[in-house]
Structure formats: C-alpha cells, structure tokens
C-alpha cells in the first residue's frame, strides 16, 4: 500500500505549542509527516534555519513518524519531491482562513495537491510566532508557549 505522507510547511520562527498541537492531531491519519521548514528569501528570520530545525527535532525526538527538513522553492514542488499527497495547515481565525483559502486553491490548481486543515484547539489560538519573537527580544519567559525553548538560540 502507498504510504500516506503529509507535509506541514511553515517558517516556524519559532515552532510553537500551537504548531505542535496541529501535528499531534494529524499524526494518527498519516504514516509519515514531514515538517518542511521553509524560508521566504524576502523575509528576515529571528532564528536561523539550523536552530529552527534542531529545535523542532528535539520536540519530536521520540516520534519516528515525524521528519524535519528544510526546503526552498514552491511548497508544492517539495511535496512532489517527497511523494506527499497532502499539505497540512492549522487555522486559528478568519484571517488565517482567508489567506489559506487562496493558497490552497492555487496549490490544488498547480499540482493537484489537497490541503487539509485542523482548527486550533481551544486555548492555543492566541499563540503566534510573531508575539513570541517579541517576548524573546525582551527576555520574557517562552516556556508557556514553546516546548524546549532552551533550544532556541539567537
């Protein structure tokens, strides 16, 4: 049987408990989930790709179904290269929805890849990487929002 492979793409600057929750809930549906750590060339990141990848790897160290990999270029091309049939995304609110809807339709039209969405669990929808970066810059405590936050070295 063909393996069910899903790609969860993002910049993950940094990876939060919100992202972690989405992955954990998608996990029973897939044989393999590839967390694709992308990088938009026009965007500046707080954490290097290496730090972001090692941080995510440390969180899922004991889960053999999860693979963490960097990628550049179009997300759909990465999916095709990895033989993934599905793109996985999380939705927090209507802003996420409106943005994700266009991208999902474009990706379907480009390569026929379906996107699956899970709504964020209660109590996690306020967590955003942007706010976490702000807390980090001001030496605040990241532990309520990020697992293994000690791995996030600037």
* Dist CA 132 CA 142 (whole Å): 7
Residue of the chain from 6, 7, 18, 52 that contacts ligand ADP (CB under 6 A): 18
Nearest approach in angstroms of CB 33 to ligand ADP is 13
* Dist CA 78 CA 108 (whole Å): 14
Residue of the chain from 89, 132, 136, 152 that contacts ligand ADP (CB under 6 A): 89
Question: Residue 52 pairs with which residues in a beta bridge?
Answer: none
* Dist CA 18 CA 48 (whole Å): 20
Residue 6 engages ligand ADP in binding (rule: CB under 6 A): no
Q: Which of residues 102-121 bind ligand ADP (CB under 6 A)?
A: 120
* Dist CA 21 CA 98 (whole Å): 21
Q: Which of residues 27-66 bind ligand ADP (CB under 6 A)?
A: none
Sign of CA dihedral 101, 125, 149, 58: negative
Closer CB to ligand ADP, residue 109 or residue 128?
Answer: 128
Of 6-14, 24-32, 62-70, 77-85: span binding ligand ADP (CB under 6 A): 6-14
* Dist CA 107 CA 125 (whole Å): 25
Size of the site for ligand ADP (CB under 6 A): 18
Residues that bind ligand ADP (CB under 6 A): 10-12, 16, 18-19, 22, 89-92, 96, 120, 124-125, 127-129
């Amino acid at each position: 049987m063909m393996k069910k492979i899903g790609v969860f793409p993002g910049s993950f600057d940094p990876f939060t408990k919100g992202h972690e929750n989405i992955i954990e809930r998608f996990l029973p549906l897939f044989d393999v989930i590839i967390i694709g750590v992308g990088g938009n060339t026009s965007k500046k990141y707080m954490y290097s790709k290496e730090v972001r990848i090692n941080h995510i790897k440390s969180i899922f160290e004991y889960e053999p179904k999860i693979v963490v990999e960097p990628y550049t270029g179009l997300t759909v091309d990465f999916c095709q290269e990895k033989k993934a049939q599905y793109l996985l995304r999380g939705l927090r609110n209507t802003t996420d929805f409106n943005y994700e809807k266009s991208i999902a339709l474009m990706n379907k039209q480009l390569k026929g890849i379906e996107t699956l969405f899970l709504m964020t669990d209660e109590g996690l929808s306020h967590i955003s990487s942007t706010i976490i970066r702000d807390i980090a810059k001001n030496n605040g405590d990241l532990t309520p929002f990020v697992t293994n936050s000690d791995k996030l070295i600037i």
